[in-house]
A and B are shown apart, each in its own frame.
Chain A
């Protein structure tokens, strides 16, 4: 298994543009997490899904951010419109949720720069 796959690996865009980040979890995993990493705030959980259903989106900063998981093998995180303060590394992680356990496996991240 190639592990969690994220695309693109790097994204440079201008303020106001729409940005879509993509994630393919590990096959068979039933939980998916989106994190954001910045120098100021470290690693923060944005949202997570169980069996494709959003469970907790309390970490989503504002309405400009949205996440979907249309099926077990794909998720997107969209920012519209993007702003310079959204510049960060965005990580996706997946796990197999069994009785509350389940190690989270992280993707390589997408480095986003909004100019």
Chain B
């Protein structure tokens, strides 16, 4: 079965501090992993996907197949990073996205 686990419902860090949002998944094949973000009063939007191996708004995420993880990291948090973050998985050749429960990130000034 496909499953995505985000162990932290809430995460609070100070501005300028490093931030890491954890995501672990369960899938027997080669998944495609995503991070979606929802800022206050805005719609859910794609932040990054593992196949792109890009950095968006200073965030990066590396797929670790050995640990079945896809943690989202940023070295220096900014106040505008405060939002709800969802990790999602898509199975090989599939269209369905399976989402984690989400982590609410708050950046304190």
Contacts and interface: CB of A to CB of B under 8 A. Distances in A.
Contacts of A102: 95
24 contacts: A31-B95, A33-B97, A42-B99, A42-B100, A42-B102, A43-B86, A43-B99, A43-B102, A45-B96, A45-B97, A48-B95, A48-B96, A93-B44, A97-B95, A100-B94, A100-B95, A103-B46, A103-B49, A104-B46, A105-B45, A106-B44, A107-B43, A108-B43, A109-B43
Interface residues of B, number: 17
Contacts of A33: 97
A12 interface: no
Nearest to A43: B99
Q: Which of A4, A33, A42, A95 has the most CB of B within 10 A?
A: A42
Interface of B: 36, 43-46, 49, 86, 93-102
Interface of A: 3-4, 31, 33, 42-45, 48, 50, 55-56, 91, 93, 95, 97, 100, 102-109
A106 B99 contact: no
Contacts, number: 42
Given A42-B100, A93-B44, 9 more contacts: A48-B95, A48-B96, A95-B95, A102-B95, A104-B97, A106-B43, A106-B44, A107-B43, A108-B43
Contacts of A109: 43
A64 to B, nearest CB: 22
